[in-house]
Every structure is written in structure tokens, then in C-alpha cells.
A and B are shown apart, each in its own frame.
Chain A
Amino acid sequence: MSVHRDLPARAIVGTQTVTIAIALNGERRSLKVSPATTLLDLLRHDLALTGTKKGCDHGQCGACTVIIDGQRINSCLQLAVMQDGKAITTIEGLSPDGALHPLQAAFIERDAFQCGYCTPGQICSGVALIAEGRATSREEIREHMSGNICRCGAYPNIVDAIEDVLVQRGQLMKETVE
């Protein structure tokens, strides 16, 4: 969806806040943010959307992955003030009516998580991977999911879950082992 562009002042000084408009999980939101606030901290601290996780805060783990205008992005490296006019989907937005997204269901079925902390980032990343349509083998899934670190080591199950959904959608023929 597109958002009405309600551009803020072009220049703001120091600790002044600025108003931005974003579409967050399909809902138009007008928010006051400080320029030093990252999108991740905006979500977690100000909007209580704690499904998006902070694992490293430096783009080195992928736990904070959200989908911005259709692209998976590390929200920890994005300044909130620069998101004006963008459509952002977080883990909370993947099952708005309560019905799990097929990848969420596949994660449960394949036991693709343990502690659960990297999981929202993995799922947002996986949903984007499926939409990108570039991964057509387990090997490619592995490489295209390498931006999401899982310290519990659930990687094989994460690949299984994504493969299941790609197969369901006809994007991938199931590889047969032996």
C-alpha cells in the first residue's frame, strides 16, 4: 500500500523530533521520532512491537529483519526518520487475522527454532526470500538465509521449512535424498 507523503521539515537540529508517516503492518501511522532513533528501537521501545528482535544492533545477525516496501532489511541500521512514506511489515503483520502465514506454520511443523529469539527475523527473511523467487535449491536457500544467525543451530530445519513452502507454491521441486 502507498502512504500519503506528509513530508517533515527538511532540516531539523539536534534533539528535535520530527513527524513521519508510515504504513505499519497495513495501518497508517503518524509518529514523532528523534533522528537518533533506529527503526528497531522505534518498534521495540515506542510501539511495543517487540516481535522484531535486537540481537546485535549492528547488522551482523539478522534478528531485526523486517520487510520494508517488499524488501527484507535490518531494521537496526535504519533510522526511523528516514522511513517516512514507507510500508513496513513486521512479524506481527504476517498473521493479521490470526491465521498463521504458511511459513510460520512450516516453522512449527519443522521445529525450525528453539529459543525463538532469531525466529521472527528468520521468518521475515524467509517470507521475503519466497517472494524474491531466486532460491531454487536447498543450497540457494542456505546462502540466501545466511543473513540470519541462529545460535541454537536450527539451520537444517529452517531450510526444511522454507523448502516446504517453496514446494507448496511450485517454486521448487523437492530434492530427493538418495
Chain B
Amino acid sequence: MNRFSYHRADTIDDAVRALAADPAAKIIAGGTNLVDLMKYDVEKPSTLIDVTRIEALKGISETEDGGLRIGALVPNTTVAYDERVASRYPLLASAILAGATPQLRNAATTGGNLNQRTRCYYFNDVATPCNKREPGSGCSAIGGLNRIHAILGASEHCIATHPSDMCVGLAALGADVHVVGPDGERVIPFADYHRLPRDAPQRDNTLRLGEIVVSIVLPPDAASHGVHHSYLKLRDRLSYAFALVSVATALTMEGGTISSARIALGGVAHKPWRRQEAETALAGRAADEHSFAVAADLLLDGAQGHEHNAFKVELARRAVIRALGQAAAGTPQSQTDKRIA
């Protein structure tokens, strides 16, 4: 772990000022990913800006239009078990509980979850080339060990995936990310928050210099998906493992017909993967395996495997179909009963 200065910020402005002043500074809150990476020398911040005392980043509150605002500092556990979240956005609660462990969820924050970095083996080992860690050094995962890597939206520079479960849920719900920077506050639609690697895989998201996440706002209309939803996560052991593939889906139904659908995939791309075509294709269709398969194929259109992860394409397809089935039936996947209904 490198030597760094420690700055305890009192206010959002204070944090933004400190961050804008030093491109090598980092925000710390839960620490669950940053401290981990600092011990691997993957992250070597000049300064850590501790935002955990900033009251304005805490708490969950109603928005005027019936949505829910979750402060960036709210721990994952608090979000998952919040009554309003559990009743109105159960997909989000389920996605959170599918990830990590009680200990990590207690420490990890909402804002930090958005900014967690990939689990790519090479990114995490400074002895190896990695474009995300060291731009221009090359991507070791291409032609290397890539069983856990991306099948969608990857580039010749990087095939890493985003590791979050919570973000897959947020992507499906269509949340907004509220950020504050030197130029004031702006709102980033969730789909635009994370980015594909293209030729700059070192950038995970679209935050500008000096910007910090202050809250996530869940839209009111997502609340209509309270019954027909599911978060289905497939991984190498039954708990405490990152997703090979995960699916977050929420439907509105009229009888046996789907009115509207939201589907996001985790573990398959540099960001939670959503495609409008797949969701549109389900609108007005019967909730049956055929419809689900059509949507899955649209969602996965262009998916490409590498030497070790080609299986993910078919696995993701089947997972989408199953998760849609669970959602349509109103029997979301349990995160404790490991049997897949």
C-alpha cells in the first residue's frame, strides 16, 4: 500500500474541491474495493478523501414524484433491507443480496458499488500487462485466462467485466445517478454511467474530473415492477462469488401478456448490459418460452466468446429465459434457497 495523504471532507463541496485539485486523489467510503486494490498496488492514490462524515450523502428519502433517493453513503445492507426498497424495488434488494457477503454489504456503500473495479485476474496482478491498469501495456486476458470475461461490448483493448450485482439491478430499474462536480450537479442516466472499454479501458465510467456520486434516484415507474421480477445469478460456488452471468429482469403484466419489460445482464460486459430491442420485443407478447427466447437472442445479439468463456453465451441465453419465466410467474429467485425455481 503506497503512502498517501488523508483528507477528511466535511461537505460535498469540500470533497469536490479536494478531488478536483488532484487527479490522483481518490474518494474512500466503505473501502471494500479500494483498500483491497491498494494492497495489490493496483490503486495508488496520492490522497484519500474520506467522505463518510458528510451528512448530505446519507439516508434514503422519497422524491417528490414518488421515486426514492438513496444517498451515496447508504450501505448495501441498509438499502437491501429498507422497507420501501424491499416493497417497491424488490429487484434491487434481491440483486444486492446476491452479491458479496453480509460483512461486505455492511461496509460497501451505494456510491462505492457503482465504482468498484473489475475482477479480471490481470487487472489485479501488477506483474502482468493490463490496459485498464496501465494504458498501452496490452490486454493479457485476450489469449489468456478469460473464462470470467466479457462476451458483449468488449474491445481489442479490454475484455473485462463490471463485477457488481447491485448495478445490474439499478440498470434494469433505470435509475439516475446524481453527481456533483466543480461545475455543479448533473444527472447521469444509469445506462450512461458505466461505459464500454473501447480504446480507453482505464475509464470505467463517465464521471468527470472532480465529480463524486451523491445519490441514486430510483424512478417512480420502476415501482410498478414489484411483483414480476427476478435476479438470477450464476456463479462458480453457491455464495460469495462473482457472477459468471446474472440477469435482472422486471416485467409489467396484464394477465398472461407482457406489457413492458426490463432486462439487464451482469458478468458479461464492461457495464450492465441492456438493449432496448430485446425489451421492446417482449411488449405485448405472451409470457412464454418462445417470447423469452426471442428477447434473449436480441439481448445477446453479437455476443462473442473467447477461448475459455464461449459457454457464457449459451448460459446467458438460458439464464435470461429462466429469469423471465420466474418474473412472469411472480416467483423471483430466492438468494438463500439455492434451488433455481
Contacts and interface: CB of A to CB of B under 8 A. Distances in A.
User: Does a CB–CB distance below 8 Å link A and B in the complex?
Assistant: yes
Interface of A: 7-8, 10-15, 18, 35-36, 38, 57-59, 62, 65, 71-74, 76-79, 81-82, 125, 128-129, 132, 134, 137, 139-140, 142-144, 146-149
Interface of chain A, main secondary structure: mixed
A58 B125 CA distance: 14
Given A14-B3, A78-B31, 18 more contacts: A10-B9, A11-B5, A11-B7, A12-B6, A13-B5, A18-B6, A36-B3, A57-B39, A58-B36, A71-B107, A74-B104, A77-B31, A77-B32, A77-B104, A137-B336, A142-B239, A143-B335, A147-B104
Contacts of A128: 102
A146 B239 contact: yes
Given A35-B4, A77-B36, A125 B107 contact: no
B95 interface: no
Contact of A140 (B5, B30, B31, B336): B336
Nearest to B37: A58
Contact of A35 (B6, B240, B335, B338): B6
Contact of B28 (A71, A82, A137, A140): A82
Nearest to A7: B8
Nearest to A76: B35
Given A35-B48, A71-B106, A143-B239, A77 B5 contact: no
Nearest to A78: B31
- The bracket for how many chain B residues form the interface is 35 or more
A129 B102 CA distance: 9
B76 to A, nearest CB: 11
Contacts of B81: 134
Given A35-B48, A78-B35, A147 B3 contact: no
B183 interface: no
A73 B36 contact: no
Contacts of A134: 81
Contacts of A137: 336
B93 to A, nearest CB: 12
A154 B48 CA distance: 39
B164 to A, nearest CB: 15
Contacts of A132: 102
A77 B102 contact: no
Contact of B103 (A8, A36, A74, A79): A74
B52 interface: yes
Contact of A147 (B28, B102, B337): B102
Nearest to B104: A59
A125 B102 contact: yes
Given A79-B31, A129-B102, A74 B107 contact: yes
A79 B3 CA distance: 13
